[in-house]
Structure 1
């Protein structure tokens, strides 16, 4: 079993087709078939169920897939570490940030970091918490900003901020004068929400499950600007981090009767390689949050 065989194996597992995998790998399909047969022979187990149109992993293949992904990720981490020590590449930080924090908390931090480290490249990906968690686990991101709740054991976290989740209405909404609001009163209203996968939506779904409430979801979108405009024009209300309402005119924040406080954290893979650029970013954010 060698690294080349493992790469070929993962390509076939992902594509579920030898021809497509061969094209992706830029090798001849017969050569790929031979390599996979040699791998199966070396481990002494069938790795794929084959038919005319698709191939599927056997149970043994599924077990190997987990180890193969981990091995190749560690090899990539090692190559990055050695390249950094040789000075063959400039530093790069790949960070995932949820929409609300990306719009209101992080811009000044990102600009400050870039000002202090002008030679480092920042790649910022906007996504929901669940997507960011998965991208971290898959090695697609170096650092991610997530809700510090039910965090996978493979991730390390460091506290970033604590923020209150509040109901948000237009200034002329009947609820705008309320000093607080119950969950049931909130869910009786027409709502505009992020789609599943964002910590904003995780909060909503969790409260509904705990209180056996069926929400009135009139709008679902991942566009924060659209949510804000829908609320401003009185078509629906929503729930957002309080820091959003501090920067947006025409909106009213109403605390819930049962206060909802979210712990937001930076996360990275425990077994992953943190480059000098990654560590510089983490330290800068901690100093300037």
Structure 2
């Protein structure tokens, strides 16, 4: 079975005539009749009753016509989308980030008239790397600690990927009200001071749990971390849903 057979079948059902369908299809009556006979043989059922004047769908033919119309209509939609360039998908994976959410919203607003369609996935560093490596996403955005960069770049090189830094920032520590750091006035906190403190982050970032090049590099495994799931991008996903 092919698309041509379904298109011929729909035309015949709508005109109730092989000859009239042939005119619409820019074909001949014998050619249309041959295509319909081939479709009937393929499906193993009679689709039309041959009448003295024209043709009429059988009960089975009416059921097939319902599905054939859906298929041919969807093909028309896809062809129209392709001709107007509407299928421009951009697949992005990233670490949860308010900074990136703002950048994405600005980019979306600037390119709104270009009819881009976006797919956004938030995940840990290693998951982002794997999604880009496996062509599940077109580009990934991650935060990497400077002391982990050597290990990170080594992982990328093994998978033939490239990392382009966008901007640098300090690691920011937000203490809870019940910790000794709250209202302490400290500008910086040493790593050894974090022992015994429980942390919450959007994802348990599994990348940092794999061996580091430097022995004294930052390790999440030494910290008590509670994962927070189900995060979304404020504004970005809601606006994207309108596309």
TM, length-normalised to structure 1: 0.39
Q: Choose 1 or 2 for highest CA Rg.
A: 2
Structure having the higher strand fraction is 1
Q: Which has the higher contact order (CA 8 A, sep 6+)?
A: 1
TM, length-normalised to structure 2: 0.45
